[in-house]
Amino acid sequence: MPPEGNPWIVFVVDDEEMISSTLGLILRGRGYDARSFVDPVEALKASQSASPDLLLTDVMMPQMNGIDLAIQVTQLNPTSRVLLFSGQAATQDLLPRANSEGYHFNLLSKPVPPKTLIDKIRELFHD
């Protein structure tokens, strides 16, 4: 649970609006300041003015993949944590490149049960 009076800002990015809005709703119900995006470029622009505490993003999206988004968001906001999720096996091919550049992101497989998501977020904030 985020601290009282200062909810953690979570950017939820998925090109499927149903997924991004549902995850945002779940997180807001748990006290997070969750902002949902269907366009990763829009999320990147928003991160320039509102630094997310957590970027929760799908990996495979048409405009920009989630790993590239995560790298750019963490370059702008070094304290941002990242949690990737994906339902596609191709994701595994993208992670080694990010790792070789010094970026180590957590990955969950879709579909992500709400309890699993919340547990993983709590784990990220209590490292």
Q: Establish if 31 belongs to a structural domain.
A: yes
Under 8 Å between Cβ of 76 and 59:
no
Residue 85 has pLDDT above 70, yes or no: yes
Residue 94: its pLDDT value, please? 67
Tens-digit pLDDT profile for residues 3-17: 566 789 999 999 999
The CATH number linked to 26 is 3.40.50.2300
Q: Is residue 121 a part of any domain in this protein?
A: yes
- How do residues 25-46 score in pLDDT, each as one tens digit? 999 999 999 999 999 999 999 9
* Amino acid 32: pLDDT: 93
Confidence at residue 89, expressed as pLDDT on a 0 to 100 scale: 57
Q: Is residue 3 part of a domain?
A: no
Peptide bond into 111 cis (omega under 30): yes
What residue numbers bound the domain in which 13 lies? 9-125
Contacts of 47 (CB under 8 A, 6+ apart): 11, 55, 73, 76, 77, 80
pTM above 0.75, yes or no: yes
State the pLDDT at residue 92: 64
- pLDDT band at residue 126, thresholds of 50, 70 and 90? confident
pLDDT in tens, 94-123: 677 777 778 788 888 888 888 999 999 998
> What's the domain count of the chain?
1
- The answer to whether position 78 is within a domain reads yes
Give domain status of residue 2, yes or no.
no
Residue 4 lies in a domain: no
